[in-house]
Structure 1
């Protein structure tokens, strides 16, 4: 059974961090490049994907943190992997339940115009920038976690 738990750790880590990188740095830019004439559609699709990876992150972080706690006991407080996971989880929560709903509300307030054609353009751009920085930090922390987990989940 420990082998299954170890394998599930690696799968959850791969799914979360790989998803962050794939969606944020491959899929979203491709959407905007491909749908260049329809930026609102590209933005809506990218937003749905960022929301999805947020929920995946919550699920994966829950398992990964539980694994760390059960596997390492009180020594978990001294483990870099544990703290990387905690910070990544916090960034996910802030993004999913704070920034993303705020961006959605700004878009709704701009209706019937597109947000980038409204007086709310600067506010949206500012919060979109905050979201991008949070995502970048989370992605880099995930990279550190993957590199440090190269020796296994312990």
Structure 2
């Protein structure tokens, strides 16, 4: 039962990262103006961060209590969950607030018209790289959770 719960939690976490990063966010920017899309995606990423904050310790407990895992695989799960959490928190606590401040300072003209556009684009690029890393770690987490 715990092994199934571990796999379910890992799949939920990785699947959520994939769904938001590669389906929902691009769809929002395709369907809405960039200000609205940024707001919607920001809300989704905040919820994803909170999901990460909840699932990382749950997976750690499930791995720690697992009787079907050897020590090496258990360490893998700890490191993968920790890596995913670190990526999520770096974006949520570090990059998102900086990007939000630039958006707010840009005013109604939007970020693209702001002198801070280059900085915003760089932060966005780092954010995308961290979500890509989190996606890869999530795939590994699901595979190692089986």
Q: CA RMSD in A?
A: 2.1
1:1-150 alignment runs, 5 A limit: 3=1, 5-35=2-32, 38-71=33-66, 75=71, 79-149=75-145
Distance change (3 Å), C-alpha of 1:12 and 1:100 = same
Return the TM-score normalized by structure 1. Answer: 0.84
- Higher relative CO (Cα under 8 Å, sequence separation at least 6) belongs to 2
Structure-2 separation of matches of 1:44 and 1:105: 13
Return the TM-score normalized by structure 2. Answer: 0.88
Distance change (3 Å), C-alpha of 1:89 and 1:135 = same
Deviates most, 50-59 or 61-70? 61-70
Kindly indicate whether the alpha-carbon contact (under 8 Å) linking 2:73 and 2:144 is maintained by their aligned counterparts in 1. no
> Structure 1 segments of 4 or more deviating over 4 A?
none
Structure-1 separation of matches of 2:74 and 2:12: 25
> 5+ unaligned residues in a row in structure 1: which ranges?
none
Kindly indicate whether the alpha-carbon contact (under 8 Å) linking 2:6 and 2:62 is maintained by their aligned counterparts in 1. yes
User: Secondary structure of the residue that 2:109 maps to in structure 1?
Assistant: coil
